[in-house]
Amino acid sequence: MFKKIQTKIMLTMSVLIAVTLIGVSALTYFQTKREILSNVNTSSKSQIDDLKSNIDLYLNFYGSTVDRYSKDNRIVEYLKEVKQNEKTGIETYWPIVSSDFENFMGLNQNVAVIYVGAETKQFKTTPVIDLPADFDPTGRPWYTAALNSPDKALWTEPYLDASSGEYVVTVVKPVLDPASKQVLGVVGLDLSLSGLSEMINKTAVGYKGYSLLLDSNGMALVHPKEQGKDLSKKPYFSVLKEKDAGFKKYEESNTENQLFYQTLDQTNWKIGMVYETNELLASAQKLRNLILIIASLTVLASLAITYFLARSIANPITLLNSRVQKVAQGDLTVNVVANSKDETGQLTEHFNVMVKNMRTLISSVEHSVESVNDSASSLTAVAEETIAASEEVAKAIGEVAAGATQQAQDSDEANHRTVSLSLQIEKVQESMDQMTGLSKQAEKTNHQGLEQMKSLRHSTGESDEVIKNVGNVINKLASKVQEIEQVIHSITEISEQTNLLALNASIEAARAGDSGRGFAVVAEEVRKLAEQSAKAAQQVKTTISSIESETNIVVKEMEQTLKISHLQNEAVSHTEIAFNEISETIHHIVQSIDTIKADVANINELKDDVVASIQSIASVAEQSAASSEQVSASTDEQVRALGSVTQSAIELNESSAELAALIKQFKI
């Protein structure tokens, strides 16, 4: 995907650092979230338990008070007396009971009223409440409920007191005759929940949470926003009814909340604390955001550091790559300075050594070719001289022996040089094999470049088409904006005419006097509406003008973008043409290298013949020196052999010239 080492290093390091930092932030956030929720769970349960205990004590105090009154001898005597003699009971016994009630209420301001209802339908209250003369306490729900639960104080459901506007709750208990265990009446008190609300509201709830108190039917007795409302339809109430205590997570108004609750023992009411999850996790979210900011800054810093690090690694490789390309073109004079001791520096040093060795090899081959050429020329001359001497051997046999000895020495020297030439030719063939591999690789790489250019041309064409489509859409938008501006102009003119007509109507209504006042008011309202319409139309016109200006700017920018896209298409075309020319050039180079390789292979094959010939010459020369008496008999055969040697020397000279021409392609 990415061809540059610098890009790969930067991308890899950035991804690793970003993934690590994001993982740490997520782990920290979720761990902090878990700790906060655990702490809130523990503290909320503890607070609710404490609040439940306080409320139970609070209600138990008033429940035990009613229980105590139900067994109070003064109330028992009052009910007995009023049953036998109503007047005596009310005038003699009730003031004593009422006085005790007043003292209790003086000490407990939350008690709204204390009352006693008799089986004989008498009903007395402290303080005195005006009631209908036919009021019958025995038919009231609290009275009948108390009779159904004679062994304990009974709490009724809360209700709104009409006189005070506060919620109150009634606690009642029947009064029994100690002797006969018959019901004499019912004693009860109405307790205002304001004191209970104050107790609950004073409880500090963290994280901007709040406390609530619901009765068994879902009525909100204490609630910061919905007090007095029926909350039985809330998503959490069904869970509250099923369990006495626990935790419930629910969503309300697109906000997630968490509710911790307990059940009061005496009344079966639900006391709870509610938190918004966002408020609970605010600190965790702030910490998460801070970590993300730090992570972002760290990634940016890492990008900068990685950029310079990658640049320090990629630059030497890029420089080395350019020098390798020159070597591939035959320039062996290049040299790269190693600025570091790391792997890149070592690679540079090894490259310099390789180029130096190649330079030495080519130079050695060049010298060897020159030496072979000289030896071949010498061999040709010697052969010609030997032939001439062989023709005159009959005249000067002594000269033949001396010539044979000299010929043996020259043949031995030629043999050594031919062996050296053979080794150099083998090295040249190895170098040609390496050049062939490199040229094939260059041809393959250039083919890949052509494929990428085709893909780039396709992508550029698609981009150009998208830009044209966007330009058309923006031009249509500009046209629609102008149409809207014309409509707004028409609305403005209509508003002005309406305003003028309303003004004329007001004048006419004023002339009409009292009978035209109503019409004048209507005309004034019409005029105001016309002015408002004109102002609104002007605002819309201003906005449309702004949009039109911005649209014109966008149109110009799209035209400029289209021009740039055309230039980009031209650049891609030129680049593709250049790649095709490079491909053709590389193909010609590969063909030339193949031809050279074939020629070198032929030379390698011919050098064996040359070596054999030189060795044959040496053997013949030795025989000539050892057996000069046989020279005459073998003169004809020697002349033929020397002719073959001369031909081989000529061929060797031609091959040396070809090899020299190939070596000149390298610049050393």
Stretch 126-150: mean pLDDT: 91
Is 188 within a domain? yes
CB 133 within 8 A of CB 97: no
Strands (E), 199-279: 210-214, 220-222, 246-252, 255-263, 270-276
Is 86 within a domain? yes
pLDDT the model gives residue 134? 87
Q: How far is CA 391 from CA 256, 387, 394, 397, 629, in A?
A: 123, 6, 7, 11, 16
Sign for the CA dihedral angle at 19, 20, 25, 27 comes to positive
H/E stretch holding 187 reads: strand 183-192
pLDDT the model gives residue 539? 80
Give the residue from 153, 176, 198 where a domain finishes.
198
Residues 6 or more apart from 308 whose CB is under 8 A from it? Answer: none
| Model confidence at 66: pLDDT above 90 | yes
Give 100's pLDDT tier (boundaries 50, 70, 90): very high
Give 170's pLDDT tier (boundaries 50, 70, 90): very high
Alpha helices in 188-236 (DSSP H): 194-201
Out of 294-308, 383-397, 451-465, 506-520, give the one with best mean pLDDT: 294-308
Give the domain CATH number at 500: 1.10.287.950
CA distance 171 to 153: 6
Is 13 within a domain? no
- At 233, list the tokens: 């339809």
Bridge partners (DSSP) of residue 587 are none
Give 518's pLDDT tier (boundaries 50, 70, 90): confident
CB 259 within 8 A of CB 8: no
Higher pLDDT, 111 or 451: 111
CA distance 166 to 196: 12
Is 442 within a domain? yes
pLDDT the model gives residue 389? 66
Give 642's pLDDT tier (boundaries 50, 70, 90): low
Bridge partners (DSSP) of residue 159 are 168
Q: SS3 of 184, please?
A: strand
Is 458 within a domain? yes
Of 14-18, 75-79, 237-241, where does mean pLDDT reach its minimum? 237-241
Give 654's pLDDT tier (boundaries 50, 70, 90): confident
DSSP-assigned letter for residue 165: -
pLDDT the model gives residue 426? 75
Residues 6 or more apart from 476 whose CB is under 8 A from it? Answer: none
Residues 6 or more apart from 364 whose CB is under 8 A from it? Answer: 424
pLDDT the model gives residue 70? 94
Higher pLDDT, 52 or 529: 52
pLDDT the model gives residue 277? 79
Residues 6 or more apart from 53 whose CB is under 8 A from it? Answer: none
DSSP string computed for 399-446: HHHHHHHHHHHHHHHHHHHHHHHHHHHHHHHHHHHHHHHHHHHHHHHH
Q: How far is CA 90 from CA 96, 276, 490, 595, 621, in A?
A: 10, 57, 89, 141, 171
Stretch 622-629: mean pLDDT: 64
**Rounded (10°) CA dihedral 512, 513, 516, 520:** 110
Distance from the Cα of residue 7 to its chain's centroid: 19
pLDDT the model gives residue 177? 92
Stretch 85-99: mean pLDDT: 91
| Model confidence at 522: pLDDT above 70 | yes
Mean pLDDT estimate for the chain: 78
Strand 167-176 and strand 270-276: the pairing is: unpaired
Give 656's pLDDT tier (boundaries 50, 70, 90): confident
pTM across the whole model: 0.43
Domain tally, the chain: 2
pLDDT the model gives residue 124? 94
CB 306 within 8 A of CB 14: yes
Residues 6 or more apart from 340 whose CB is under 8 A from it? Answer: 316
Bridge partners (DSSP) of residue 192 are 168
pLDDT the model gives residue 621? 57
- At 26, list the tokens: 């997520």
Out of 168-172, 351-355, 358-362, 428-432, give the one with best mean pLDDT: 168-172
Q: What is the percentage of the chain residues whose pLDDT exceeds 90?
A: 15
Give the domain CATH number at 177: 3.30.450.20
Strands (E), 443-582: none
Which tens digits make up the pLDDT trace of 340-372?
A: 777 777 778 777 888 777 778 777 777 776 776
Provide the CB-side half-sphere exposure for 516 (13 A, CA).
13
| Model confidence at 219: pLDDT above 80 | yes
Out of 14-28, 255-269, 385-399, give the one with best mean pLDDT: 255-269
Question: Which residue range forms the structural domain that includes residue 370?
Answer: 346-663
| Model confidence at 611: pLDDT above 70 | no
| Model confidence at 394: pLDDT above 60 | no
Provide the CB-side half-sphere exposure for 459 (13 A, CA).
7
Closest CA to 303 of 43, 21, 93: 21
Give the residue from 164, 198, 232 where a domain finishes.
198
Is 270 within a domain? no
Closest CA to 449 of 582, 591, 321, 574: 582
Stretch 610-623: mean pLDDT: 63
pLDDT the model gives residue 632? 59
Question: What residue has token string 């003369």?
Answer: 133
Stretch 640-649: mean pLDDT: 70
pLDDT the model gives residue 69? 95
Higher pLDDT, 558 or 501: 501
Q: In this structure, how many other beta carbons lie within 10 angstroms of the beta carbon of residue 48?
A: 19
pLDDT the model gives residue 541? 77
Stretch 373-392: mean pLDDT: 68
Give the residue from 198, 225, 250 where a domain finishes.
198
Question: What residue has token string 């590969």?
Answer: 590
Is 385 within a domain? yes
Stretch 137-145: mean pLDDT: 93
| Model confidence at 78: pLDDT above 90 | yes
What's the N-to-C CA distance of the chain in angstroms? 38
| Model confidence at 143: pLDDT above 90 | yes
Give 318's pLDDT tier (boundaries 50, 70, 90): confident
Is 122 within a domain? yes
CA distance 625 to 38: 115
SS3 content of the chain, % helix, strand, coil (to 5): 75, 10, 15
